[in-house]
Amino acid sequence: KLHSALLALFLGSSAGHAQNPLDFGSDIKTADPSAHVWQDGKMYLYTSHDEECQEDFWMKNWHVFSSEDLVNWQDHGAVLSVDDLSWADNYAWAPDAAYKNGKYYLVFPAGNGHKDRVNPKNSTKWMGIGIAVSDSPTGPFKDAIGGPLWREPYANDPALFIDDDDKAYLYFHGTKFDYYVAEMADDMRSVKGDFQKMDMGGYEPKMEGPWVFKRDGKYYFTMPENNRSLAYYMSDSPTGPWEYKGIFMDEEHNSNNHHSIVEYKGQWLLFYHRWLQSPVSSCEQRQRYTAAEYLYFNDDGTIKKVERTDK
Ligand code: FUB
């Protein structure tokens, strides 16, 4: 009954039907969706933006979308751009957001320089983790610290998790595609102590975008294994050690994935991105779009396998 009610809520709107990709009311291409439900009860998605004809993931800004029914979405525009940063001009990759101290925080990767794929030693590219702040969930966001909180050749995919005791944790993957965590200071502008490499229980495939959530007292660390199939670990602590539990969404078309998981009106949901297939020109390469699926759990707390749907 609950499921039917939710289906009616999410899919049966007289104004339209939920579909994949999500209909943002324009042909904007988005990737790396981070989903949050704030105090006003709406769903917010913080995404990166695949511009047409972008070269090698040269991405420039982050968007926010909101919805009350997951059918009708409002695009709040580019809420932060690398043009607003004094320290980066490129690589506006996967963001995340958090609410603390009455403010909204956007955590994001950005950087500059270029990667030389032929002679890697000539690469000048570096990426760092930035923090921006706003009084509103829809921005605009302002750089909170005027530089990266952390930088290295490839610090990417930051994610924030606020525990029930209001402690905030920041996760990201480093140049070697391994995961780091630190507790944020109360002002959300620095971390307490040093970033620690996490104990992944001995299983560490190449990893990208982390996403942490809590359900029934257990912590879930979810991520795209080999940057393609969505997999997860579980733990009794937000900082691990983590126990690997397996893949819950298979890869598609040998392409990367990046996701988030949130409970909305009693239903767990998975947001992720898919790739435009059969690009007819180089301008259509690296064009991704945001999609969503229902997510279900087994009685023991493990995650049921999710199939991609078009509706
Ligand atoms: O969108 C740029 C990068 O592609 C993200 O940071 C990765 O997680 C992958 O989705």
Each residue's pLDDT tens digit, 237-283:
999 999 999 999 999 988 999 999 999 999 999 999 999 876 667 77
Which atom from ligand 1 is nearest to the alpha carbon of 273? 10
Which atom from ligand 1 is nearest to the alpha carbon of 91? 2
Nearest to 149 by CA among 184, 181, 100, 189: 189
282 CA → ligand 1 middle, Å: 19
Quote the pLDDT of residue 214: 98
User: Is 148 strand, coil or helix?
Assistant: coil
Quote the pLDDT of residue 279: 66
pLDDT average, residue stretch 57-62: 96
ipTM, interface predicted TM-score of the complex? 0.98
How many Cα atoms are found within 13 Å in the side-chain-facing hemisphere of 27?
5
Which atom from ligand 1 is nearest to the alpha carbon of 109? 6
Which atom from ligand 1 is nearest to the alpha carbon of 224? 8
The protein residue with its alpha carbon nearest to ligand 1, atom 2, reads 93
Q: Does ligand 1 lie within 6 Å of residue 210's CB atom?
A: no
The protein residue with its alpha carbon nearest to ligand 1, atom 8, reads 209
Query: Can you spell out the DSSP letters for 190-248?
Result: SBSS--EE---TT---SB---EEEEETTEEEEEEEETTTEEEEEEESSTT---EEEEEE
Residue 127 has pLDDT above 70, yes or no: yes
- The pLDDT > 70 percentage for the chain reads 93
Nearest to 31 by CA among 45, 17, 10: 45
Amino acid in position 196: Q
Quote the pLDDT of residue 92: 98
Q: Does ligand 1 lie within 6 Å of residue 209's CB atom?
A: yes
Nearest to 49 by CA among 64, 71, 70, 38: 64
Q: Does ligand 1 lie within 6 Å of residue 90's CB atom?
A: no
Read off the pLDDT band of 311 (50, 70, 90).
Answer: confident
Q: Does ligand 1 lie within 6 Å of residue 208's CB atom?
A: yes
Residues 118 and 84 sit within 8 Å (Cβ to Cβ)? no
Quote the pLDDT of residue 200: 97
101 CA → ligand 1 middle, Å: 29
Which atom from ligand 1 is nearest to the alpha carbon of 157? 6
Residue 2 has pLDDT above 50, yes or no: no
Phi/psi for 3 (5° steps) reads -60, -45
Structure-token pair, residue 66: 């909101």
Residue 180 has pLDDT above 80, yes or no: yes
8 CA → ligand 1 middle, Å: 33
pLDDT in tens, 93-103: 999 999 999 99
300 CA → ligand 1 middle, Å: 31
Quote the pLDDT of residue 5: 44
- Count of residues in the chain: 311
94 CA → ligand 1 middle, Å: 6
Q: Does ligand 1 lie within 6 Å of residue 49's CB atom?
A: no
Residue 139 has pLDDT above 50, yes or no: yes
pLDDT in tens, 144-178: 999 999 999 999 999 999 999 999 999 999 999 99
- The pLDDT > 90 percentage for the chain reads 85
Question: Among 2-11, 69-78, 205-214, 258-267, whose mean pLDDT is lowest?
Answer: 2-11
pLDDT in tens, 25-49: 999 999 999 999 999 999 999 999 9
Quote the pLDDT of residue 278: 67
Question: Among 12-16, 198-202, 284-288, whose mean pLDDT is lowest?
Answer: 12-16
Residue 1 has pLDDT above 50, yes or no: no
The protein residue with its alpha carbon nearest to ligand 1, atom 3, reads 93
6 CA → ligand 1 middle, Å: 31
197 CA → ligand 1 middle, Å: 20
32 CA → ligand 1 middle, Å: 6
List, edge to edge, every strand of the sheet that includes 156-162. 156-162, 168-173, 179-183, 196-197
Quote the pLDDT of residue 13: 45
Read off the pLDDT band of 12 (50, 70, 90).
Answer: very low
